[in-house]
A and B are shown apart, each in its own frame.
Chain A
Amino acid sequence: QKEVEQDPGPLSVPEGAIVSLNCTYSNSAFQYFMWYRQYSRKGPELLMYTYSSGNKEDGRFTAQVDKSSKYISLFIRDSQPSDSATYLCAMSAGQGAQKLVFGQGTRLTINP
Chain B
Amino acid sequence: DTEVTQTPKHLVMGMTNKKSLKCEQHMGHRAMYWYKQKAKKPPELMFVYSYEKLSINESVPSRFSPECPNSSLLNLHLHALQPEDSALYLCASSHGRVADTQYFGPGTRLTVL
Contacts and interface: CB of A to CB of B under 8 A. Distances in A.
Interface in A61-112: 88, 92, 95-100, 102-105
B98 A95 contact: yes
Interface of B: 2, 4, 6, 30-31, 33, 40-43, 45, 48-50, 55-56, 58, 88, 90, 94, 96-107, 109
Contact of B45 (A8, A42, A45, A100): A100
Binding site secondary structure of chain A:
loop
Contact of B43 (A51, A97, A102): A102
Contact of B106 (A43, A102, A103, A105): A43
A46 interface: yes
Interface of A: 8, 32, 34, 36, 41-46, 49, 51, 88, 92, 95-100, 102-105
Contacts, number: 72
Nearest to B49: A97
A51 B96 contact: no
List the 9 closest pairs (A to B, CB-CB), nearest first: A102-B42, A97-B31, A97-B50, A43-B104, A43-B106, A43-B107, A44-B104, A49-B101, A97-B48
Nearest to A8: B40
A92 B42 contact: no
Nearest to B53: A97
Contacts of B33: 97
A43 B50 CA distance: 21
A32 B106 contact: no
A100 B50 CA distance: 15
Contact of A42 (B41, B98, B103, B107): B107
